[in-house]
């Protein structure tokens, strides 16, 4: 469910003040016929705005005990970003929402032309922040142009020999003889399995689901 589904045109702007946005958040949670759900994922904007306060209040008021599994907090590695995200961690503490873990996004750039993964925005800030707050560090997610190419053109990810992402090596089939914008056959979800991000998100998802189901083994981040 998204407010974007209710707009007349895709490019229309939503010019609303806080009270109206707050009412829409509550309406999404309480008035939508969700039916039988395995999981409900809520993607929020950055910060600790009215929407977050309204969301937290509505969830804690209407959910059954234990139904709110918790929050996954996303940051980028640089200090200026983690300084802001620490406020979100404190927000979760004050509102009684459990922090499942921290994801360090944009942690490195996977070059599509060589085997280097360059730390454009530094590295390790999210892990240090998780250690400071005593919460799980879920993983690092790099910027991978191959994923963008997959989504936009349908091309299967191909990595130069020796490419390593988060300690794992990715070396796909050669791209010789293939046109730059040529679409590869097959389903996108099948081609995604060859992307460096697939294994990373598989691990993150497994941990989040284990926490949600109460079967996780607590693994605190270490220095």
| Residue 49 sits in the same domain as residue 91 | no
Cα maximum dimension of the chain: 59
| Residue 17 sits in the same domain as residue 104 | no
Model pTM above 0.75: yes
| Residue 86 sits in the same domain as residue 107 | yes
d(CA 24, CA 41): 17
Domain edge (last residue) among 43, 62, 81:
62
Contact indicator for 104, 128 with CB cutoff of 8 Å: no
d(CA 158, CA 115): 11
Domain edge (last residue) among 62, 77, 108:
62
| Residue 75 sits in the same domain as residue 48 | no
Q: Which residue has the higher pLDDT, 215 or 138?
A: 138
Mean pLDDT on 163-181: 67
Q: Locate all alpha helices (DSSP H) within 106-218, ordered by sequence.
A: 125-133, 145-153, 188-192, 196-212
Dihedral-angle region of residue 177 (phi above 0 means left; psi in -120 to 50 means alpha; beta otherwise) = left
| Residue 95 sits in the same domain as residue 14 | no
| Residue 174 sits in the same domain as residue 75 | yes
Dihedral-angle region of residue 122 (phi above 0 means left; psi in -120 to 50 means alpha; beta otherwise) = left
Our count of domains for the chain comes to 2
| Residue 105 sits in the same domain as residue 209 | yes
> pLDDT tens for residues 5-50?
888 888 888 888 888 888 888 888 888 898 888 888 999 888 888 8
| Residue 100 sits in the same domain as residue 188 | yes
| Structural domain range at position 134 | 69-223
For residue 192, what are the CA distances in angstroms to 4, 108, 182, 205? 26, 19, 16, 15
> pLDDT tens for residues 101-158?
999 999 999 998 888 889 998 889 999 999 999 999 999 999 999 999 999 999 989 8
């Amino acid at each position: 469910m998204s407010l974007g589904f209710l707009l007349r045109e895709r490019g229309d702007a939503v010019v609303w003040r806080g009270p109206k946005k707050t009412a829409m958040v509550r309406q999404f949670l309480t008035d939508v016929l969700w039916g039988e759900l395995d999981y409900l994922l809520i993607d929020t904007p950055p910060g600790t705005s009215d929407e977050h306060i309204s969301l937290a209040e509505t969830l804690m008021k209407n959910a059954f005990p234990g139904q709110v599994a918790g929050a996954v907090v996303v940051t980028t590695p640089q200090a200026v970003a983690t300084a802001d995200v620490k406020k979100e961690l404190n927000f979760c503490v004050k509102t009684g929402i459990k922090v499942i873990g921290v994801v360090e996004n944009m942690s490195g750039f996977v070059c599509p032309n060589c085997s280097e993964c360059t730390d454009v925005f530094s590295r390790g800030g999210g892990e240090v922040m998780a250690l400071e707050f005593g919460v799980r560090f879920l993983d690092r997610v790099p910027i991978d142009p191959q994923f963008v190419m997959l989504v936009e053109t349908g091309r299967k990810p191909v990595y130069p020999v020796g490419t390593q992402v988060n300690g794992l090596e990715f070396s796909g089939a050669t791209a010789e003889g293939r046109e730059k914008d040529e679409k590869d056959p097959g389903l996108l979800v099948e081609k995604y399995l060859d992307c460096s991000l697939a294994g990373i998100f598989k691990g993150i998802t497994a941990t989040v689901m284990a926490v949600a189901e109460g079967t996780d083994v607590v693994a605190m981040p270490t220095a």
